[in-house]
Amino acid sequence: MIVLGIETSCDETGVALYDNARGLLSHALHSQIEMHREYGGVVPELASRDHIRRIAPLIRRALSEADCTLNAIDAIAYTQGPGLAGALLVGASVGAALGFALNIPAIGIHHLEGHLLSPLLSTPAPQFPFIALLVSGGHTQLMRVDGVGQYQLLGETVDDAAGEAFDKTAKLLGLGYPGGAALSILAERGRPGRFKLPSPMLHSGDFNFSFSGLKTAVLTLIHQQPEDPQTYADIAWAFQNAVITVLTGKALAALAESGLSQLVVAGGVGANKQLRCQLTEKTEAAGATVFYPQLEFCTDNGAMIALAGALRLQAAYGDQVEFARGFTVRARWNLAQDPENAPCVPIKPE
Ligand code: KG4
Ligand code: ZN
C-alpha cells in the first residue's frame, strides 16, 4: 500500500511517499524559515499562503523521485492538527480533494503521532512498547507507546516547550530565529561550569517539565554579565546543560518506572547533539536502548505523516483501505487524552 503524506501544520511544507512493503520511497520538503526570519517568528497568514504555493510542486517532485504516478497511490494522509488552522487547512483540503479525485481514502493524522512514530523510519527500528520523549517547538511530552494509536501521556511541560525555550533564549543571546540549532552551536564554544542554572522540576517526582523560569534566569545573567562573546557562549552552555539534564533525568525515570527498555526521542530538539550524547550514554548505562529519527526527520516533514497514515490504515484495514469523505482540522488536539483519538478511521461513503 502506497501512502502520500502531507504535512503543513506550521512552517514546513512536507510531502512523502511511503510503501508498507518497501518503506519510504521519496520525500520532498520546503522550509519557510527564511521567509519568517525577518519577523522573528512564524507569521500564520504568510505560512498558509506559502503552503499553497509549494504543495503541488512538492507532490510532483515526490512522485517523480519515487518514479510513481498519482494513480499508483492507495491512500493519502495529511496532518489534521494540532497547528496553525490556516496552514493545516491547506494540507487537509489538498489531501481531501486529491482523495476525492482519485477515489482513494484521505485520512487525518495527529502531528505528534507522526513525530513519535518517526524513529520507525530508521533501521534498526524500535519495537512496541516504548517510552517516547517528544521535544518540539510546541510540545514537550513523555509518553508510553504500546502500539499504533495506544498512547499514554506520562507528563508534559506546564509552560514553555523545550524548543520554545531554546528559541526564546537564543533570541535573548542575539541569535536569529529559530534559534535552537544556533544556540547549540554557540554552546559548543561555552566553558562548562562558569555559570550554573537550575534544572527545573528535576526532582518534582512526576514527569512534568517547566522551562519558562530558565529563560528568566538567563535574562538575569545577561543583565549581570559583560556583553562579550565568550560570556554568551558560557551562558548558552549552561542553558543547554540545564535543559538536557532535566530531559535526560525524566526520560530515564520514565524508563525505570515503566520497566521498559526502549526510549524513542522525536521532535526538533531531538536533533540536539549534546542531548543525543547524554541520552545515549545514560540509557546505555541503564541497560536500555535509545532510538532517534534521522536528523532530517527530527523537524517537521511529510515522511512521518505518510508513515503514521500507512500504519494507521494497516492496523484498521489491512491492505483493503476504506473511504473517507470530507475533512476538518483541529488547531488544538490532545493526542493521549482525547477519547476521539481515532483521527483517521475513515468514514464509509453513504
Ligand atoms: O518538531 P519541530 O520541527 O516543530 C514543531 O513541531 O514544533 O521543532 C522545531 C524546534 C524549534 O524550536 C527549534 O529551535 C528546535 O526544534 N531545534 C533545536 C535544534 N534543532 C531544532 N533545538 C535544540 N537544538 C537543536 N540542534
Ligand atoms: Zn513538529
In the block, cell 513525530 appears at: 115
pLDDT in the model for residue 347:
46
pTM, two decimal places: 0.90
Do 192 and 249 fall within a single domain? yes
Pocket test for ligand 1, best of 134, 136, 264 (most atoms within 8 A of CB): 136
* 75 belongs to a structural domain: yes
pLDDT in the model for residue 257:
97
pLDDT tens digits along 224-250? 998 999 999 999 999 999 999 999 999
For 20-29, 32-41, 121-130, 180-189, which range has the lowest pLDDT when averaged over its residues? 32-41
Q: How many Å apart are CA 168 and CA 257, to the nearest integer?
A: 32
pLDDT grade, residue 341 (50/70/90)?
A: low
Domain-terminating residue out of 251, 272, 292: 292
For 54-63, 203-212, 308-317, which range has the lowest pLDDT when averaged over its residues? 308-317
pLDDT at 125 over 60: yes
pLDDT at 102 over 90: yes
Pocket test for ligand 1, best of 166, 237, 279 (most atoms within 8 A of CB): 166
pLDDT at 308 over 50: yes
Ligand nearest to the CA of 135: 1
Number of domains the chain contains: 2
pLDDT in the model for residue 320:
60
pLDDT in the model for residue 315:
84
pLDDT in the model for residue 24:
98
pLDDT at 259 over 70: yes
Do 135 and 218 fall within a single domain? yes
* 109 belongs to a structural domain: yes
Do 266 and 188 fall within a single domain? yes
Atom of ligand 1 nearest to the CA of 179: 14
Q: 82: domain CATH number?
A: 3.30.420.40
CA of 36 to the centre of ligand 1 (A): 15
Atom of ligand 1 nearest to the CA of 267: 1
* 143 belongs to a structural domain: yes
pLDDT average, residue stretch 71-99: 96
List the domain range (segments joined by +) for residue 105. 2-116+298-347
178 ligand 1 Cβ < 6 A:
yes
Residue nearest to atom 24 of ligand 1 (CA): 272
Do 52 and 147 fall within a single domain? no
Atom of ligand 1 nearest to the CA of 12: 3
pLDDT at 98 over 50: yes
Pocket test for ligand 1, best of 112, 186, 299, 332 (most atoms within 8 A of CB): 299
pLDDT grade, residue 328 (50/70/90)?
A: confident
pLDDT grade, residue 345 (50/70/90)?
A: very low
* 19 belongs to a structural domain: yes
* 332 belongs to a structural domain: yes
CA of 265 to the centre of ligand 2 (A): 13
Do 319 and 272 fall within a single domain? no
DSSP state of 122: S
pLDDT in the model for residue 251:
98
Cell of 342: 481515532
Do 140 and 83 fall within a single domain? no
137 ligand 1 Cβ < 6 A:
yes
Do 9 and 97 fall within a single domain? yes
Burial class (CB in 10 A: 0-12, 13-18, 19+), 223: exposed
Burial class (CB in 10 A: 0-12, 13-18, 19+), 201: buried
Atom of ligand 1 nearest to the CA of 273: 26
Do 207 and 317 fall within a single domain? no
Domain-terminating residue out of 271, 292, 313: 292
CA of 255 to the centre of ligand 2 (A): 23
Do 92 and 158 fall within a single domain? no
pLDDT at 175 over 90: yes
* 248 belongs to a structural domain: yes
Do 279 and 156 fall within a single domain? yes
pLDDT at 343 over 70: no
pLDDT average, residue stretch 23-38: 96
* 208 belongs to a structural domain: yes
Do 215 and 173 fall within a single domain? yes
Cell of 192: 562548562
Do 157 and 94 fall within a single domain? no
pLDDT grade, residue 88 (50/70/90)?
A: very high
Cα separation values, 221 from 165, 187, 189, 193, 199, Å:
16, 15, 18, 14, 15
CA of 325 to the centre of ligand 1 (A): 34
pLDDT at 73 over 70: yes
267 ligand 1 Cβ < 6 A:
yes
* 121 belongs to a structural domain: no
